[in-house]
Structure 1
Amino acid sequence: MNSAAISLCMNVRDEEEVLERCLSSIAHIVDEIIIVDSGSTDRTKEIAKKYTDKIYDFEWKGDFSEARNFSFSKATKEYIMWLDADDVVPEKSQKQILEFKKNLATYKMDVVVMEYQYSYNAEGNPILTQYRNNIVRRACNFKWKGLVHAKLDYSDTEEFITNIVIHHKKNKLHTDRTLKTYESLIEQGKNLSVEDLFYYANECISHKQYKEAKEWYQKYLNENTSNDECNIYAYGQLADCHTYFNELDQAILCCLHTFKINSPRAEICCKLAYIYYLKKEIEQTISWFKIATATDFPTKSTFIKPHYYTWFPHIQLCTCYLSQGNYNEAKKHNDIAATYIPNNSYVKGNETLLEELKIKIEQRNAEK
């Protein structure tokens, strides 16, 4: 069976620290590598030459979509795969993609979605996951849109969702470059697209500009009528902004609004639990953490925080029950959390508190 041919398209600039790591994980899988450099002053192009002679210079004009579309225009194979320089294709995924190329040739899929893990805890477990359209059929001529956070526009096209994982291993420190770019565009009087409203709000909240984030999330939600998954995320972020300002009732309403969009998400249930904890309503807190433990992991969501579907609510329930002196329930939930993160400091700390509570209970019983 013949495999489909894939062009890898990458846009880079000053990526000497990570580019070889990325290319070495994917070069043997793809059939063509396109590198578009927008002004590197380090060894980026020298490293790229080890893997391809198709390296193009591109004059940077502050438009990420223009740069992405240029790289796509240079592809010649049936399918296009795109990665960022600080992405890595793990060994298991390499084997999956090689096998999957046969299905591409057979079924002519237009959009292939992969699991993109881009934030990790101290143990290396993913704490934030996004599903991205990493492979598309070139004949569809999909275009990138968005000045800053470019997004591939393939509306009304069916996706094929895989369990193939891409790791995002960011080395560079988070800067305010993107935030400043948006602020400059606004000062110039340029109208932000719906997608850019969303991403600018995200930049605001990541820089702890909660007042501005509230404003821009609300603008985004007022204008966006189609992307349910991003709306769920935006309402959750807006709830965090209200929580920061102690506007707890408004935060609750934001969380509850997501249930009108789709089935409950564990991330939202845990937010509600925390809000009720701040309101000192422990039974409500426990109820929402319990609901989180019973929430199914979504088969597809724009942003997923896996720990909310596994150990996190159980750790919180253990804490709640410890505060009530309920040893059995506290131990039950800490034991469940331990099945996911056995050596985590939260689990070990709770084990110490549980032992102390057990001794106190035994002492009280002995005194009766």
Structure 2
Amino acid sequence: MATISLCMIVKNEEKVLSRCLESVAGLVDEMVIVDTGSTDTTREMALSYTNRVYDFTWRDDFAAARNFAFSKGRMEYLMWLDADDVLLPEDREVFLELKRTLTPDVDVVMMPYHSGLDEGGRSVFTCYRERLVRNLGRDLWEGAVHEAIAPFGKVIWSRAAVTHRKEGPGDPDRNLRIYEQKLARGETLSPRERFYYARELMDHQKYGLAAVQLEQFLDRGGGWIENEIEACRLLSRCRLEAGDESGALQALLDSFRYDDPRAETCCALGAYFQAREAWRRAIFWYELALTRERNDEGGGFVQPDCYGFLPCIQLCVCWDRLGRHAEAEAWNQRAGGYKPDDPSYLWNLAYFSSLS
């Protein structure tokens, strides 16, 4: 059975650290906790789980901190979590099976990361992350912000998921500040950094600046295809904020230069036409979304609702606006098959009942 070091970086996580560590208790062979400057009881809490607690002076570089944490791991594989991550009970069982069957030739294990949940506890935003990595005794993390490890060697994909359950806003300006400091020092952003910098600008409602960064990211090339496709969707949103409707539409269509349509893009196109009461064109794109195959292992950011519930519930709206209530009700029933407790579906049930 493979041995695993859990290596974490933490700061002021007293509200969530115990929840995280309890969720992996018995799954890992050692816990390494690196504190980057806590002023609450985080460090004391970590010491109640492990004596392998270290201090690291924070210098606005997540990769540096994570590499330091990984350098302290002594087991065959190194695993990372954030303090507000958990393994749910069903994922613990899958993880244990992974650990029992992990062969020595595996270098990287990719695992689903559910970073958004709806009111029913279902994932609304998921992607795969490099979660377990062979302990090579060297730095693996890259990127001051949105740090990552480039997959290498033999890579396998596991169904054991990590669920992100954020508590509180944290420092909303931290990531943007780190990027802007890099630029102020005259450093050049890599394609991946430029993509995430644009996302941070959007989060701060700086849509004009974000659009410039997204256009540069797409024009210069060198980015990962899934990021290029998402960049088109993000650029569309930025252009809509600026009142450029034709440019917003073109940005979505430009995504087809990179690969076949993703359901997320089809839903964005459906929403574009739906907002302009072009009901039949919206229907076309929502129906196309339902034909797209979901591929979580492609590595992109997947919005599961776009592959089922969302197009169905919007097709209900579109057909209803066209006066085709029977078709609309049928689509609502189909949406309910995906999310039977969703408020929109339940509201529609009452609405169609009132028509009869």
2:247 corresponds in structure 1 to 250
Tell me the CA shift for residue 136 of structure 1: 0.8
SS in 1 for 2:116: strand
Percent same amino acid at aligned positions?
Answer: 36
- Separation in 2 of the partners of 1:255 and 1:298? 20
C-alpha contact 1:293 1:310 (8 A) present in aligned 2? yes
Q: Per-residue deviation at 1:195?
A: 2.0
Aligned-CA RMSD value = 1.7
Conserved in 2, the CA contact under 8 Å of 1:330 and 1:354?
A: no
Alpha-carbon offset, residue 277 of structure 1 = 2.3
Alignment partner of 1:169 out of 165, 168, 171: 165
Distance 2:93 2:236 in 1: 41
Output the CA distance in 2 between the equivalents of 1:277 and 1:327: 17
Q: 1:43-78 deviations in whole A, cap 9, x for unaligned?
A: 111111121111111111111111111111111111
Amino acid at match of 1:219: Q
- Return the alpha-carbon distance in structure 2 between the equivalents of residues 343 and 99 of structure 1: 32
Question: Structure 1 counterpart of 2:245, which letter?
Answer: L
* Counterparts of 1:257 and 1:109, CA distance in 2: 37
Given that 1:334 and 1:347 are in contact with CA atoms closer than 8 Å, whether structure 2 keeps it comes out as yes
The number of aligned residues is 354
TM-score by length of 1: 0.91
Query: How far apart in 1 are the matches of 2:138 and 2:307?
Result: 37
Report deviation, 1:289.
Answer: 0.6
Residue 202 in structure 1 maps to residue 202 in structure 2: no
Among 289, 292, 300, which residue is 2:289 paired with? 292
The one-letter code sitting in structure 1 at the alignment partner of 2:218 is L
Superposed CA offset, 1:203-223 (max 9, x none): 111222111110111222233
Distance 1:224-1:135 versus aligned 2 partners, 3 A rule = farther
**TM-fit CA distance, 1:233:** 1.4
* Residue equivalent to 1:366: none
Q: Secondary structure at the match of 1:10?
A: strand
Map of 2:20 onto structure 1: 22
Partners of 1:109 and 1:224 lie apart in 2 by: 31
Cα separation, 2, equivalents of 1:142 and 1:22: 25
2:96 to 78, 95, 98: 98
Q: Name the SS of the counterpart of 1:164 in structure 2.
A: coil
Q: Do the aligned partners of 2:217 and 2:223 also contact (CA within 8 Å) in 1?
A: no
Q: Is the 8 A contact 2:120 2:341 kept in 1?
A: no
Contact 2:10 2:36 in 1 (8 A): yes
The 2-side partners of 1:238 and 1:204 are apart by 12
Give the Cα separation in 2 of the matches to 1:195 and 1:83.
21
Q: Does 1:317 align with 2:320?
A: no
Note if contact 2:279-2:321 (Cα within 8 Å) is conserved in structure 1. no
Change (3 A) 1:95 1:142: farther
Relative to structure 2, which stretch is displaced further, 143-152 or 316-325?
143-152
Contact 2:191/2:222 (8 A) holds in 1: no
Q: Which amino acid aligns with 2:10?
A: V
**Structure 2 gap ranges (5+):** none
C-alpha deviations, 1:227-262, integer Å up to 9, x for none? Answer: 111111111111111222232322222222322322
Q: Within 5 Å, give how 1:269-348 maps onto structure 2.
A: 269-300=266-297, 301-348=299-346
Per the alignment, residue 190 of structure 1 pairs with 187
Provide the secondary structure at the position in 1 that maps to 2:12. Answer: coil
Q: Give TM-score scaled by structure 2 length.
A: 0.94
Query: How big is each residue's C-alpha offset from its partner over 1:287-335, in whole Å with a ceiling of 9 and x where there is no partner?
Result: 0011112211114232011111121111100001111110121011000
Task: Specify the SS of the correspondent of 2:141.
Answer: strand
Distance 2:287 2:222 in 1: 31
Please identify, of 145-154 and 85-94, the stretch whose mean Cα deviation from structure 2 is larger: 145-154
Deviation at 1:162, TM superposition (A): 1.5
Please show how residues 1-368 of structure 1 align to structure 2 within 5 Å. Answer: 3-104=1-102, 106-139=103-136, 141=138, 143-154=140-151, 157-173=153-169, 175-300=172-297, 301-356=299-354, 358-359=355-356
CA distance in structure 1 between the partners assigned to 2:166 and 2:189 by the alignment: 27
Q: What is the rounded CA distance, in whole Å, between the counterparts of 2:66 and 2:190 in structure 1?
A: 17
Q: Distance in 2 between matches of 1:320 and 1:245?
A: 26
Deviation of 1:192 after TM superposition, in Å, equals 2.1
Contact 1:118–1:169, Cα closer than 8 Å, also in 2: yes
